[in-house]
Structure 1
Amino acid sequence: MTMGRTRRDFLRTTSHTAAVLAAASLGQVHAAGNEKSGPLKIALIGCGGIMNTHVKTLLQMPKEATVTWLCDVDPQNTKEKLDRLNRSSGAKPRVTQHAEDIFNDSTVDACVIATPNHWHAPLAIAAMRAGKDVYLEKPASHCFTEGPLLIETAEKYGRVVQHGTQMRSSPVYDQAAKVLADGILGEIKFARAWSAEVRPASILVPDSTPPKGVDYDRWLGPAPVHAFNVNRFHKKWRLYPEYANGDIGDDGVHELDLGAWGLGMKGDVLPTRVTSHGGHLFPPYATEFFDDMTVTYEFPTGQQLIYEMHSVTPYGLFGVDNGNVFYGTEGYMLFSRRGFFNVYLGPKGTPGPKEDKAIRGQRGYLEHMRDFLQAIRQRTPTRAPLEVGHRSSALVHLANIAAMTRGALEFDTNAGKFRDCDEANTMLTKNYRAPYGV
């Protein structure tokens, strides 16, 4: 296998290679040139934290999209977004606690889904079945088996999907991709990714009652029934596996996505071996995830991706809290989704290309949403299609499972399961509480 040539071919078409089949499927749904006129009608589902960024982004594109629905189980969240949209654009979207109201509205073109992770796949699948295109926040799935189901649904219904790994749309990413494609680093042998951000410790508190107006049963959705607890609600739900995937599934999925990209991996390539270890360096507090992890992924190409997660220190590698390094035979690239990259060549680390000063710090949020809207109109693949989103999310799931079981596991990429470890294979999927599920 000629890695250099394969790598260049991949990186020159970095945002589309993994979605060739999706393009064919999308083309069957809308004839070429049959673009929708006027602003696209968008529904926002899950109106908490990251949705603030999406609202800000959409408000910058009034001719391209308008928000017609807001959905959240907490009326306070929808009120905040409604007030902001009304002040900024005069928009008065409809409000609901039930996503089914949106799916039943034939005028809605697309949904932006930014709920807790356990709701990502059920809502995205329901939206696609209802004929809506989907901007799905990361990680795409809460468990491994949801990924292939998402891909299958998108292909069956010819839907456009953008995964919320926004750096793939940054102009910084584009410039770095060109440098990688030019081959000045030689063959990329391995990559290192990391995230180092201190998370405030949450002490255990007794169960209580949900805030007034919150539909808590619907918030739980497919998750097991559990009494309301503030540590399991807004923002802090990330502490529990019933709803989240740990820090590796929060900031980590961004870095893993970029690490695999830097290696030149196509979107459907999964590792064949995962070695993962985690620890609890914080004093005992309200979480069931590791706050420190070290993971090594070995791919069929022989390349490796090493990931480090540290929630007890803000000090990452190379002075960057979140980043990647792509090591080649002729040099290496430091790349950060904080919006920059540096190249160092030869044994003396001679400085090479870097991002243009004019684009430094750009993280791709606006461009990612614009790419999604354009893909809807043109029925073309997005920069972060589901094939890529599934692989990035799968790296999260495989690492968590390995750390919770044997520490080192072989993965059969054709069968989509671990070799000779029944315990690990049971963790690739989950049970869904009726009537919620996929």
Structure 2
Amino acid sequence: MNRRKFIHQSVVAGIGLGLLHRFSPSARAAAPASANSRLRVAIAGLNSRGIALIQCFASLPNTEIAYLCDVDDRALAKGLAATAKVQTSVPKTIKDFRRALEDKDVDALGIATPDHWHAPMTIMALAAGKHVYVEKPCSHNPHEGELLLQAVAKYGRLVQMGNQRRSFPAMQEAIAQIHAGAIGRAYFARGWYTNARPSIGRGKLAPVPAWLDYELWQGPAPRRPFNDNVIHYKWHWHWHWGTGEALNNGTHEMDVCRWALGGTHPTKVTSSGGRYHYQDDWETPDTQVIGWEYADGKSMSWEGRSCNSYPIEGRSRGAMVHGTEGSALLDGEYYAFYDPKNKLIKEVKPGSAVDSTNTLSSTGLEADKAHFRNFADAIREGAKLTSPISEANPSVTMLHLGNIAARVGRTLQCDPTNGRIQHDAEAAKLWRRDYEPGWEPKV
């Protein structure tokens, strides 16, 4: 390693998450004062979902994307081109998101980075006085979820997770009807997700590409040499950076299930499955069934098939809630209720008016915008967040527990007050991860 590179890496690691302590309460950005205040947003992570964040934030009235942040030069260019289509002002483009946190005029940070960055970056932004919109799953492990709750309480800023179904008018109406007894006493909910993902093959060690700041991409994760089939997206299937399909997609459906049934943390968690379809570098399950039991006599399950797309209930993804007087099928902007004899009694499709003030859109991105509007309204006007971290975190934690059960190969017994694993020291070690020295998230 040459001297210049050594100094660069030492400085980056040294300031790491210690940047948290650079921001005193007096230096934190103040929230906009009224509904007419301009909201200035920085967006970190510009591949895939990051482009959706650009489009959704730019659609909000009096909102400006002020910074685009990504460790990939190509992604910065792509993000800049996408922003030019939706706003006239040109955002600053930077590799290191921490520079945006130093700008007192930035009100909020949108996060669409790899999973291992979600919680550490959120905590850093909160400490800098910013509000945060963070894509699911919001944490890489259950311990980080606990830190997020502490950070929100300490820094007094808002965090909305990107489980956007919480803001879909159709889902809000369907859940309200379930809570009102439309299917009697709801006691079992199941979610699913299917896809036909190809093999990721076998990667090899390679030089870090010139367009990538790999040091910053790794951030809080313990250092590993660059492998040519991790970046981008394939990190999802490595425990070191990702959380598998259960949290990549299962978060959406299982959050809907938990929303419908209520309850916070399970008493028992089981998982079966594995990497079956291909033999390659993919570590997390491509086929998985997770089960949760709750103290109030309710249970849930999730089935994920990453490499076999045969649908369930005729749909590639969705949730079904069963009760004493019928069942409900829930899928984003669609829902249907069935009576005890399985007769369809109500159906709402995309584009249908669900009440006097809301109309469902026929496109997913348009529906997502409601979640961003709710976030902006909460900042400007004090509206109630539809998915604050206090409500989102239990849905994420239950899936983390499912992955832990899969990794240790046995049933977990959990404390229903906080989800903590009981009577299993080996499994309990997976409640948190190891961090690169100097990058440990702290509140």
TM-score w.r.t. the length of structure 1 is 0.88
Choose 52-61 or 107-116, whichever is displaced more. Answer: 52-61
Where 1:89 maps in the other structure, the secondary structure is coil
Partner residue in 1 for 2:429:
426
Q: Distance in 1 between matches of 2:422 and 2:56?
A: 44
What's the secondary structure of 1:433's corresponding residue? coil
Q: Deviations over 1:399-430 (max 9, x none)?
A: 01111114211001346421110000000011
> How far is the alpha carbon of 1:280 from its aligned partner?
2.2
Q: Is the 8 A contact 1:205 1:229 kept in 2?
A: yes
1:73-222 aligned at under 5 Å gives the runs 73-222=71-220
Measured after TM superposition, the shift of residue 210 of structure 1 is 2.3
Residue type at the aligned position of 2:435: Y
Equivalent in the alignment of 2:298 = 303
- Is 1:238 aligned with 2:232? no
Partner of 2:39: 40
- 1:8 maps to which residue? none
Aligned Cα RMSD in Å? 2.0
Report the secondary structure of 1:315's partner residue.
coil
Structure 1 residue 257: deviation in Å?
0.6
One-letter code of the match for 1:41?
Answer: R
CA contact (8 A) 2:59 2:86 kept: no
Distance 1:404 1:249 in 2: 15
Partner of residue 395, structure 2? 392
Q: Which amino acid aligns with 1:343?
A: F
The runs of 4+ residues in structure 1 deviating greater than 6 Å are: 29-33
**1:325 aligns to what SS in structure 2?**
strand
Secondary structure (helix, strand or coil) at the match of 1:231 reads: coil
1:118-153 Cα shifts (integer Å, max 9, x gaps): 000110000001000000110011000111110111
- Specify the SS of the correspondent of 1:427: helix
User: Within 2, Cα distance between the matches of 1:33 and 1:312?
Assistant: 46
Name stretches of at least 5 consecutive residues in structure 1 with no aligned partner: 1-28
Residue 322 (structure 1) aligns with: 317
Contact preservation (8 Å) 1:273, 1:299: yes
Q: Distance in 1 between matches of 2:170 and 2:287?
A: 29
Q: Give TM-score, length-normalised by structure 2.
A: 0.87
Instruction: Kindly provide the CA deviation profile for residues 65-112 of structure 1, in whole angstroms up to 9, marking residues without a partner as x.
Output: 100011111111111111222243222111111122111111000000
CA distance in 2, matches of 1:300, 1:377: 39
- Give the letter aligned to residue 239 of structure 2: P
Query: Who is 2:59 aligned against?
Result: 60
Aligned counterpart, 1:407: 410
Q: Percent identity?
A: 31
Name the aligned partner's letter for residue 130 of structure 2. K
Q: 1:354 aligns with which of 347, 351, 354?
A: 347
Asked if structure 1 preserves the Cα contact closer than 8 Å seen for 2:189 and 2:299, the reply is: yes
Tell me: CA distance 1:172–1:230, structure 2 relative to 1, closer, same or farther (3 Å): farther
Deviations, residues 241-288 of structure 1 (Å, cap 9, x unaligned): 1111001110111111111112133xxx10010011122221201211
Residue of structure 2 in register with 1:376 after alignment: 379
Give, in whole Å, the separation in 2 of the partners of 1:83 and 1:307.
38
What CA distance in whole angstroms lies between the structure 2 residues aligned with 1:362 and 1:328? 30
Paired residues of 1:127 and 1:133 also in contact (CA < 8 A): yes
Query: Counterparts of 1:181 and 1:362 in 2: how far apart (Å)?
Result: 27
What is the CA-CA distance between 1:53 and the residue it aligns to?
1.1
For 1:43, the aligned partner's letter is A
Amino acid in the other structure paired with 1:108: V
Question: Secondary structure in 2 aligned to 1:145?
Answer: helix
The alpha-carbon deviation at position 237 of structure 1 amounts to 1.1
- 5+ residue gaps, structure 2, are 1-27, 353-359
* Distance in 2 between residues matched to 1:123 and 1:370, nearest whole Å: 22
Change (3 A) 1:410 1:60: same
What is the CA–CA distance in structure 1 between the aligned matches of 2:161 and 2:431, rounded to whole Å?
20
Q: How many residues align?
A: 404
